[in-house]
Structure 1
Amino acid sequence: MSHFKKLLIWQKSMTLVTSIYQITRTFPRDESLGLTSQIRRCSISIPSNIAEGYSRESPKEYVRFLNISIGSLFELQTQLEIAKNIGYLTPEQFNKQYEDSRELERMLVSFIKKVKEQSKTT
């Protein structure tokens, strides 16, 4: 691969970040330093760690950063659930974001397996 921006997981995670920013604009102002900030930060962490891991010299390091992305993704899923439970997200908004995050989760898990397998053959 010539650049991390060509990775579908990076592209999908960037789309997710954009969507997260759009929906959190509707959160109460007093949440700007709380849940809004936390949701945005963990969503940003997903593509950022994919990109940073890509720059690493070894597959083992790359996998470490991809796993950090998954951790941030799980954190995001939890925070979306909280936002839904306290009424900041409609069920429709939650379902869309959650399903998009689950798709990205499956893609990341698959990609990690691929990177690990490729590192065994090199």
Structure 2
Amino acid sequence: MINNHEDLQVYQMAFDAAMNIFELSKKFPQEEKYSLTDQIRRSSRSVCANLAEAWRRRRYKGSFLARLNDAEAEAAETQVWLKFAVKCNYLELHQARELYSRYNQILGIIVNITNYPDKWLLRNS
């Protein structure tokens, strides 16, 4: 039974991935604090925030889909930052591959929800 956004599997996956990124990004160089570190933390957290907003906007299909679209975009952005982190030698390849794969799973679930929104929307009484 899903009572709130925190019960959603995709939210839990995104939250865990964002926390993993937070821990790993603590080791990024200080000069990246206001660039790559900040960007990857923000985008990964934004996936969760947009999923929470989407959940609360289920009364209105357009608004629901817009937030899901934002979550999808933020997940893809996080994947880009993961690639930069590897190329800059801030992340081990195996760590980035694991997270990238996790975001592919997250993206797949978001796309699936987006493709079939009606079963998620609140019904007017």
- Considering the TM-score relative to the shorter chain, is it more than 0.5? yes
Instruction: Output the amino acid matched with 2:16.
Output: T
- Per-residue deviation, 1:116: 4.4
Matches within 5 A, 1:41-120: 41-56=42-57, 57-116=59-118
- The whole-number CA distance in structure 2 between the counterparts of 1:116 and 1:35 is 37
Unaligned runs of 5+ in 2: none
SS at match of 2:90: coil
**Counterpart in the other structure of 1:21:** 22
Measured on the aligned residues, the alpha-carbon RMSD in Å equals: 1.7
- The whole-number CA distance in structure 2 between the counterparts of 1:116 and 1:27 is 42
Q: List structure 1 segments (4+ residues) > 4 angstroms apart after TM superposition.
A: 116-119
Structure number having the greater helix percentage: 1
Unaligned runs of 5+ in 1: none
- Per-residue deviation, 1:117: 6.0
**Counterpart in the other structure of 1:5:** 6
SS at match of 1:39: helix
Task: Say whether the 8 Å CA contact 1:4–1:51 is kept in structure 2.
Answer: yes
SS at match of 2:116: helix
- The whole-number CA distance in structure 2 between the counterparts of 1:24 and 1:108 is 25
Give TM-score, length-normalised by structure 1.
0.91
Instruction: Output the amino acid matched with 2:51.
Output: I
- The whole-number CA distance in structure 2 between the counterparts of 1:30 and 1:109 is 35
Report the more deviating stretch, 110-119 or 42-51.
110-119
Task: Say whether the 8 Å CA contact 1:63–1:116 is kept in structure 2.
Answer: no
Task: Say whether the 8 Å CA contact 1:27–1:36 is kept in structure 2.
Answer: yes
Instruction: Output the amino acid matched with 1:12.
Output: M
- Per-residue deviation, 1:114: 2.2
